């Protein structure tokens, strides 16, 4: 869209465009940059907490606590869990995406949605269902089973989106050079999925490091479960802080590995012309095995958890639906979810604005600070806010404000990525044209840029809302006395082996999460241009 101003004067005044000067950016870039710097500094509080506690402990004490047999056991468990789970998620996610997007799979549109559906079930609810089905589940391979079924959609969704927008011309070129379907997939298609696979693998690994409820329920010890035990027994003791420092170090290593694994190759199509429609590979005799494989995967990852939740609800009868029990938890969950999503979306705007309108090393550094913090497990962020609030602002300890602040730091990138994409689709020339026609900068920003960015911001807020509804560890540590969310009430009852009493809270979390998961799936397909 091109906007033209036919005269240098509008309403008898000389416009800034007529004098050849660029209109002032809304709010002033300096004010936005100052806000972004404050947000970045605030987001580094958890990392600062870990560094400070490590230094304050002293090298000899820290070394004695870190280099001990218990930490070695936790490290081995964590490494093995990651080594087994991440490749399985990659195989299931990429394999499912290829079947849905690149083969003649019958009902591929239905399977496309069903393979994303397990993301609507929190991992600790999945663990609760599997323990109900197989009470003897415990240990490493039980953790791998539950984590794989819970997190493979984190690979499937970006892989399916990438395959959907992949130009089939590269496959046709490979075929013309004599490569068969399988050789073409491994030599041509799979390298194009590199970014989606590394990004998905990073998300899976970070979720493995952060997860508490799913592994505690099957009695599998990880850094997160051990830190929670230390916190409950000694309240922020030195041993728990040192475990947190090792966990954060592990998270930073994963971030660095993901950045290095992206490489420098380009994956974008260069040139004009419409993209050809992808030719789907005939499955022939493999049609039935493919259908059975997807049916089994969906049944294990989504059908079984939902079935056991409904089974416990039937067993519990009408009394487990007492309004005075679950209604406060539902209302508080919605309140924290909506409040946290709103605050997170507003906080993300200054940084997204700088990243799009004024890109450079400064905006990238500010943005990176948020990604570092969001990669930390909720228990580390929770411990940081517990310590900081008690020592610096004790009147803020265990208040709703501190809990929402933790949500903001944990889930800011979910809003930031969406708002940044929305701002990129709102050309600054439209805003400048509005100012050239006499509209004040603030009003021009609201009427033009903010309105065009609103749908993307709403999508980001929805993703933050979904994350808050299912968040457990930070909520357990920071929630004010008397707070009852669906996640914490579910955890309280399931920890007391009251599986029937926990079932309504599990079902409500799934019902709330399902529309948000579908929105995430549709958003990924929209980005893919489908």
Q: Is 425 helix (H, G, I), strand (E, B) or coil?
A: coil
3-state secondary structure of 484: coil
- Give tens-digit pLDDT for 52-82: 888 888 888 888 888 889 999 999 999 999 9
Determine how many CB atoms are found less than 10 A away from the CB of residue 494.
25
pLDDT digit string (tens) for 365-400? 887 787 788 778 888 898 889 888 988 888 888 899
Q: So what's the pLDDT on residue 527?
A: 53
**Number of Cβ atoms within 10 Å of the Cβ of 398:** 18
Distance CA 410, CA 401 (A): 14
For residues 401 and 419, what is the distance between their CA atoms, to the nearest angstrom? 24
Q: Is the pLDDT of residue 454 over 50?
A: yes
**What is the chain's Cα-based Rg?**
25
3-state secondary structure 140-193: HHHHHHHHHHHHCHHHHHHHHHHHHHCCCHHHHHHHHCCCCHHHHHHHHHHHHC
Q: Tell me the CB-side half-sphere exposure of residue 279, using CA atoms within 13 A.
A: 10
Q: What is the mean pLDDT of residues 328-333?
A: 92
d(CA 501, CA 135): 18
CA angle 37, 39, 40 (to 5 degrees): 65
- How far apart are the C-alpha atoms of 210 and 145, rounded to whole Å? 17
The answer to whether 270 and 94 have CB atoms below 8 angstroms apart is: no
Q: Phi and psi (nearest 5°) for 30?
A: -65, -40
Residues in contact with 298: Cβ distance below 8 Å, sequence separation at least 6, in sequence order: 111, 114, 115, 117, 118
| Token reading at 374 | 């969001």
Residue 442 predicted with pLDDT over 70: no
- Give CA torsion, residues 355, 360, 366, 369, to 10 deg: 110
* Nearest Cα to Cα of residue 473 among 388, 415, 407: 407
Highest mean pLDDT among 278-287, 407-416, 453-462 belongs to 407-416
DSSP state of 275: P
> Are 245 and 235 within 8 A, CB to CB?
no
- Residue-wise pLDDT for 229-245, tens only, equals 888 776 557 888 888 88
Q: Which two tokens stand for residue 16?
A: 């800034």
* pLDDT band for position 441 (cuts 50, 70, 90): low
pTM for the model: 0.83
Treating both helix axes as pointing N-terminal to C-terminal, what angle do 304-316 and 123-133 enclose, rounded to 10 degrees?
A: 70
Q: For residue 49, what is the enclosing H or E element? A: helix 45-57
Query: In angstroms, how far is CA 129 from the centroid of its own chain?
Result: 23
Residues comprising the chain, all counted: 530
| pLDDT greater at residue 265 or residue 204 | 204
Q: Cβ–Cβ contacts within 10 Å for residue 69, how many?
A: 7
**What does the pLDDT average to over 497-523?**
88
């Amino acid at each position: 869209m091109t906007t033209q101003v036919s005269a240098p004067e509008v309403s008898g005044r000389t416009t800034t465009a007529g004098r050849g000067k660029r209109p002032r950016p809304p709010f002033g870039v300096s004010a936005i940059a100052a806000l972004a710097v404050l947000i970045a500094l605030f987001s580094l509080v958890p990392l600062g907490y870990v560094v400070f506690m490590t230094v304050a402990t002293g090298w000899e004490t820290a070394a004695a606590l870190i280099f001990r047999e218990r930490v070695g056991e936790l490290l081995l468990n964590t490494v093995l869990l990651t080594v087994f789970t991440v490749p399985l998620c990659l195989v299931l996610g990429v394999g499912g995406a290829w079947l849905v997007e690149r083969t003649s799979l019958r009902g591929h549109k239905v399977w496309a949605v069903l393979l994303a559906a397990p993301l609507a079930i929190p991992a600790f609810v999945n663990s609760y269902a599997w323990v109900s089905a197989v009470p003897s589940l415990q240990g490493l391979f039980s953790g791998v089973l539950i984590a794989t079924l819970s997190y493979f959609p984190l690979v499937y969704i970006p892989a399916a989106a990438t395959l959907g927008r992949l130009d089939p011309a590269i496959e046709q070129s490979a075929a013309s050079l004599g490569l068969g379907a399988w050789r073409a997939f491994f030599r041509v298609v799979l390298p194009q999925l590199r970014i989606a696979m590394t990004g998905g693998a990073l998300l899976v690994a970070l979720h493995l490091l952060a997860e508490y409820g799913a592994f505690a329920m099957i009695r599998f010890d990880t850094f997160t479960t051990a830190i929670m035990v230390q916190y409950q027994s000694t309240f922020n003791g030195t041993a728990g802080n040192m475990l947190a420092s090792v966990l954060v170090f592990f998270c930073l290593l994963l971030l660095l590995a993901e950045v290095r694994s992206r490489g420098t190759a380009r994956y974008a199509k260069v040139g004009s012309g419409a993209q050809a429609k992808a030719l789907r590979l005939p499955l022939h005799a493999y049609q039935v095995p493919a259908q059975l494989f997807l049916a089994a995967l969906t049944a294990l990852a989504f059908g079984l958890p939902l079935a056991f939740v409904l089974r416990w609800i039937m067993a519990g009868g009408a009394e487990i639906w007492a309004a005075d029990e679950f209604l406060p938890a539902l209302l508080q969950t919605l309140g924290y979810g909506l409040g946290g999503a709103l605050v997170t979306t507003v906080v993300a705007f200054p940084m997204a604005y700088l990243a799009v309108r004024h890109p450079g090393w400064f905006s990238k550094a500010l943005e990176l600070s948020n990604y570092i913090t969001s990669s930390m497990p909720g228990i580390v962020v929770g411990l940081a806010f517990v310590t900081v609030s008690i020592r610096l602002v004790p009147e803020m300890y265990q208040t709703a404000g501190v809990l929402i602040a933790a949500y903001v730091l944990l889930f800011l990138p979910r809003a930031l990525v969406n708002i940044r994409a929305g701002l990129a689709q709102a050309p600054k020339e439209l805003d400048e044209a509005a100012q050239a026609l006499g509209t004040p900068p603030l009003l021009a920003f609201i009427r033009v840029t903010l309105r065009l960015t609103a749908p993307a911001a709403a999508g980001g807020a929805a993703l933050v809302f979904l994350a808050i509804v299912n968040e457990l560890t930070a909520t357990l540590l920071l929630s004010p006395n008397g707070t009852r969310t669906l996640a914490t009430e579910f955890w309280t009852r399931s920890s007391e082996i009251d599986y029937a009493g926990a079932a309504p809270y599990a079902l409500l979390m799934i019902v709330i999460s399902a529309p948000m998961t579908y929105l995430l799936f549709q958003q990924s397909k929209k980005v893919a241009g489908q």
